[in-house]
C-alpha cells in the first residue's frame, strides 16, 4: 500500500504544480494583454492595412493599451476603406481624444505590425464607445523602394554626364573655350565698371527702374489679354474668333480706305473738305453752316417748348384735328379726281366724253350765229348784274 500511496502523492503534487504554473501563465498573459480589464471599442479605417493581423497590439504613446480585435470589410461594397476594430483599456481610452490619430507602424526588422495612437490635445473631448478615430495611411515601402531605384538611376545618369563634362574639360579646345569665356566676362565686367552698355544702365540708372516697371506692367497687360482670350472674353477675342468681329475688321478696313481716299483728295486739293479747310470761301461757308445750325437748334428748342406753327401742328389737339380734316379732304379730292378720270358723272362726262364737248361747241357756235339767242343771253347777263348791284 505504501508504494501506491507514494505514487498517488507524487501524481497529485505534479497536477497541483501544473495547475499553479497554468494559472500563473494565464495571469501573466492577462496582465500583458489586459484581457481581464474593462475595455472600450474604437474603430479605425485604412485603405490598406499592410499585413496587419487580428490580435496585434495597440499602443498609446509607446505603451500597450489594447489589441486589434477584428479586421473586416465595410457592409457597403462601394466603400473602399477597411475597418479595424480596436479594443482599448478603459483607463487608457480617456486619453484618446478627437484629434488623436491612429497609424500602422512596423516593429523591428521582421516587419511585425502594430497600431500606434497619438495622445491628442488636452482641450479636445474624448472618444466614446464605437466612435471612429482619425487614421493615417501606412507607409508603402515598396513604393519608396521603387522611388529609390529611380533616384539611383537618375544619380547614375548625372554621374555619367559629369564624367563626360570632366573628360571634355581635359581636351585642349575646352580649355581654350573656357579662357575665351573668362576673357569675355572680364570685358563685360570692365564695361559695367565704366558704365557702358545696357546692363550697367539697368543696374545703376534710376530711369531703368521705370523701364522695368513699364515692362512689368506690359507683361501683366499681356497676361490679362491672354487670359481673356482663353476665357473667350474681350474685344481681341471677338475680333479674332467672332464672325461679328471679322465684319468689324472689314468695316474698319473700309473706313481706313475711305480715310486714305479723303486724305488723298486733301493732298490733291479736291473735294468739299479741302474747300472748307483751304479755300478762301471755306471760312464763310463754315460760318454760314454754323449760323444755320444755330438757327436750327433754336428752332428745335422752340418746337420742344411748344412754340411756333410747327409745334402747334405737331402737339396741339386742334392742329391734329385740322390735319385729320386735311387728310379727309385730300382723300375726297382724290375720289373726285378718280371719278372724273373714269368719266363718271356730269363733270367726268364733260371732260372725258368728246361727243358732249363737240355738242357744246356746236351749241355755242349756233348761239353766236343766232341774233335772238344773243339778245336773250345779253338780257339774262344784264339782269344778273343788276341783281348783284342791288
Each residue of 191-202: pLDDT tens digit?
A: 666 666 666 666
Each residue of 271-286: pLDDT tens digit?
A: 666 666 666 666 666 6
Whose CA is closest to 100, among 66, 60, 134, 132?
134
Predicted TM-score of the model (pTM):
0.33
Q: Are 236 and 228 in contact (CB under 8 A)?
A: yes
Beta 63-72 vs 82-89: how paired, if at all?
antiparallel
Q: Are 68 and 53 in contact (CB under 8 A)?
A: yes
Beta bridge partners of 313: none
Task: Output the nine-digit C-alpha cell for 262.
Answer: 479723303
Mean pLDDT of the region 8-17? 77
Each residue of 19-34: pLDDT tens digit?
A: 888 777 665 555 555 5
Task: Output the nine-digit C-alpha cell for 281.
Answer: 470761301
Mean pLDDT of the region 42-48? 86
Question: Three-state DSSP class for 118?
Answer: coil
Rg from Cα positions in the chain:
59
Residue 279 is given by DSSP the state S
Least confident of 133-147, 150-164, 275-289: 275-289
Task: Output the nine-digit C-alpha cell for 268.
Answer: 490733291
Alpha-carbon span 131 to 263, nearest angstrom: 86
Alpha-carbon span 93 to 212, nearest angstrom: 63
Strands (E), the chain: 39-46, 57-60, 63-72, 82-89, 101-107, 112-117, 134-136
At 119, the pLDDT band (50, 70, 90 cuts) reads confident
Task: Output the nine-digit C-alpha cell for 165.
Answer: 563634362
Sign of dihedral through CA atoms 149, 154, 157, 163?
A: negative
Asked if pLDDT for residue 81 goes beyond 60, the answer is yes
Each residue of 51-77: pLDDT tens digit?
A: 888 888 888 888 888 888 888 888 888
Alpha-carbon span 352 to 355, nearest angstrom: 9
Task: Output the nine-digit C-alpha cell for 26.
Answer: 494565464
Any idea where the domains of the chain sit in the sequence? 25-137, 140-167, 316-375
For the beta sheet containing 57-60, the strands, ordered from the edge strand earlier in sequence to the opposite edge, are 39-46, 82-89, 63-72, 57-60, 112-117, 101-107, 134-136
Which residues lie below 8 Å from residue 244, measured CB to CB, with a gap of 6+? 238
Beta bridge partners of 60: 63, 117
Question: Three-state DSSP class for 336?
Answer: helix
Amino acid at each position: 500500500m505504501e508504494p501506491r500511496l507514494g505514487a498517488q502523492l507524487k501524481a497529485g503534487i505534479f497536477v497541483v504544480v501544473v495547475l499553479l504554473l497554468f494559472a500563473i501563465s494565464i495571469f501573466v498573459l492577462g496582465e500583458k494583454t489586459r484581457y481581464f480589464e474593462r475595455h472600450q471599442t474604437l474603430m479605425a479605417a485604412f485603405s490598406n492595412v499592410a499585413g496587419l493581423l487580428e490580435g496585434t497590439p495597440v499602443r498609446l504613446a509607446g505603451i500597450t493599451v489594447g489589441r486589434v480585435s477584428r479586421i473586416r470589410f465595410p457592409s457597403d461594397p462601394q466603400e473602399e476603406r477597411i475597418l479595424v476594430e480596436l479594443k482599448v483599456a478603459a483607463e487608457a481610452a480617456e486619453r484618446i481624444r478627437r484629434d488623436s490619430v491612429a497609424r500602422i507602424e512596423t516593429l523591428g526588422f521582421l516587419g511585425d505590425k502594430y497600431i500606434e495612437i497619438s495622445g491628442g490635445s488636452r482641450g479636445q473631448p474624448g472618444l466614446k464607445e464605437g466612435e471612429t478615430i482619425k487614421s493615417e495611411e501606412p507607409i508603402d515601402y515598396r513604393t519608396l523602394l521603387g522611388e529609390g531605384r529611380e533616384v539611383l538611376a537618375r544619380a547614375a545618369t548625372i554621374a555619367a554626364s559629369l564624367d563626360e563634362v570632366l573628360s571634355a574639360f581635359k581636351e585642349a579646345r575646352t580649355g581654350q573655350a573656357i579662357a575665351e569665356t573668362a576673357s569675355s566676362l572680364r570685358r563685360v565686367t570692365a564695361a559695367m565698371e565704366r558704365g557702358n552698355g545696357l546692363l550697367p544702365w539697368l543696374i545703376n540708372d534710376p530711369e531703368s527702374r521705370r523701364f522695368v516697371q513699364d515692362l512689368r506692367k506690359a507683361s501683366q497687360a499681356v497676361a490679362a489679354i491672354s487670359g481673356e482670350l482663353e476665357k473667350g472674353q474681350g474685344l481681341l477675342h471677338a475680333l479674332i474668333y467672332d464672325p461679328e468681329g471679322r465684319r468689324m475688321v472689314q468695316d474698319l478696313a473700309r473706313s481706313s480706305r475711305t480715310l486714305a481716299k479723303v486724305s488723298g483728295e486733301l493732298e490733291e486739293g479736291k473735294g468739299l473738305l479741302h474747300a472748307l479747310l483751304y479755300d478762301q470761301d471755306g471760312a464763310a461757308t463754315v460760318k454760314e453752316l454754323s449760323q444755320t445750325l444755330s438757327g436750327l437748334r433754336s428752332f428745335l428748342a422752340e418746337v420742344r417748348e411748344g412754340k411756333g406753327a410747327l409745334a402747334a401742328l405737331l402737339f396741339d389737339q386742334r392742329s391734329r384735328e385740322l390735319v385729320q380734316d386735311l387728310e379727309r379732304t385730300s382723300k375726297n379730292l382724290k375720289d373726285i379726281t378718280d371719278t372724273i378720270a373714269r368719266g363718271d358723272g356730269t363733270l367726268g362726262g364733260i371732260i372725258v366724253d368728246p361727243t358732249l364737248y363737240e355738242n357744246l361747241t356746236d351749241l355755242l357756235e349756233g348761239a353766236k350765229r343766232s341774233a335772238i339767242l344773243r339778245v336773250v343771253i345779253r338780257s339774262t347777263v344784264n339782269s344778273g348784274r343788276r341783281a348783284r348791284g342791288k
